[in-house]
Amino acid sequence: MKRYEQFSSHLDVLKKANEEDLDNTFIVSGIIDKFFIQFELGWKLFKDLLRYEGRSEAATGSPREVIKGAYKVYDFMSEELWLEMLAERNNSAHLYDEEAAKTLVRHILEDYIDVFETTKKSLIKKYGEDFLLKD
């Protein structure tokens, strides 16, 4: 799955965020942008997998519905944190407040990267990496 490959590749980059200068507003902005991309890849990956599983939630274009559907299928998934990330993405689309940006980056580093990593590991366990990497 091309989407899994992108999800995994972007996650590898996002995991390096804690090595960066978090006082640099350009770096902070870049981390937030990477998070937005990672989140998009994540919910769309779930959408692809729900389609594979034959779930009706895959037919929707709504990230919220896909997340709620994925929560029903995947016991490793934290619906609360995925919905929190969706809210962060929606509320932060026009983020200009430096303190709010730093708070979001702290959430990304302390919580959200772990959610993405758990998702990756759990999907590998459930489907196998060979399946996830096939086209």
Please write the tens of the pLDDT for every residue from 60-99.
889 999 999 999 999 999 999 999 999 998 887 656 788 8
Q: Are 10 and 31 in contact (CB under 8 A)?
A: no
Domain at 2-133: CATH code: 1.20.120
**What mean pLDDT comes out for the span 36-47?**
96
3-state secondary structure of 29: helix
Residue 67 CB contacts under 8 Å (≥ 6 apart), including other chains: 43, 46, 79, 82, 83, 86
Domain ranges of the chain: 2-133
**What mean pLDDT comes out for the span 41-51?**
96
Q: Which of the four pLDDT bands, split at 50, 70 and 90, describes residue 10?
A: very high
Short-list 37, 30, 26, 4, CA closest to 16: 30
Q: What is the mean pLDDT of the chain?
A: 93
Distant-in-sequence contacts of 106-115, Cβ < 8 A, 24+ apart = 108/14, 108/17, 108/31, 108/32, 108/35, 109/17, 109/18, 109/31, 111/81, 112/35, 112/38, 112/39, 112/81, 112/85, 113/11, 113/14, 113/15, 113/17, 115/78, 115/81, 115/82, 115/85
3-state secondary structure of 124: helix
